[in-house]
Amino acid sequence: MGDFVVTTIQDAYLQGGFGLITNLDKSTVQNLHAASQRPTPPKITLNCYLVNTGEERILIDTGLGGLVGDEGARLDAGLDEMGLTVADIDRVILTHSHPDHLGGLIDDDDNPVFPHAEIFVPVGELEFWRGAVPDDTSDMLRNQFANAQRVFDACETNLRAIDDDAIQPGITRMPLPGHTPDHSGYRIESNGERLLIAADIVHLPQIQFPRPDARVIFDTDPEQAVRSRQALFAEVAATGEMIAGHHIDFPGIGHVVSDGDGYRFLPHVWSPFV
């Protein structure tokens, strides 16, 4: 992207299911999935994005890391394949505070993985996830609170709140609330080229591009998440700006185009050569 290099690192490939979609009937979800020719049951890609500005290496989200369970995180392996270690990361920017995005900040013993990197988190995420857990919350949300607080406590010294959308030259925050209260994308811009890293704007792309009204069980505010997704798709379909998604099939970068009442994702053509 201009003078910047953006690299996708696939951290994991997670088992999903049709029940993740909460507001469409089962046959509609299954038919959309079948039309995509993906394996059944559906799986979910988990990407991280490394931005090299020439002056800094900035990691946008960190995958599952120390919160991994049985799925197998490979952020470290991805960095190693690039000839990098965690010590080469100057800054971490989080899109939001779900376990599959901040887990890589700690190891199995809750030690910070990036001890020398500043960790930037949208201020609304810090306020929400460090606050009191609602009494009537689900077990899933209660677990998300516990994991976020565990990671934030371990990384307290290096945490920085993002309270201004202009993060640094070439990187601008774009609020995309709904999936979490301060869920954020980041626009990367250099020499007239732009890429919007849109985080969890979709989880099941084969469902949510053609049906952007499809809600997922992970959304804190499902109605707001739908509004954010619809507005973003309309914008980038009109402008032609490329997007990247943490749950779009690897390498997760491409264009969004209108298709009937919904949209289609056109993957950026990948090549092993620059």
Domains of the chain in start order, with CATH, are 5-267 (3.60.15.10)
How confident is the model at residue 270, as a pLDDT?
A: 75
Helix (H) or strand (E) holding 75: helix 75-81
Whole-angstrom distance, CA of residue 161 vs CA of residue 215: 28
16-29: pLDDT as tens digits: 999 999 999 999 99
Residue with tokens 């690192």: 9
What parts of the chain have a pLDDT lower than 50? none
User: Are 145 and 185 in contact, with CB atoms under 8 Å apart?
Assistant: no
65-97: pLDDT as tens digits: 978 655 568 999 999 999 999 999 999 999 999
What are the tokens at 57?
């290496």
Neighbour count for residue 233 (Cβ, 10 Å):
23
User: Are 152 and 99 in contact, with CB atoms under 8 Å apart?
Assistant: no
Residue 257's identity, in one-letter code, is: V
How confident is the model at residue 11, as a pLDDT?
A: 95
Closest CA relative to residue 97, chosen from 159, 20, 17: 159
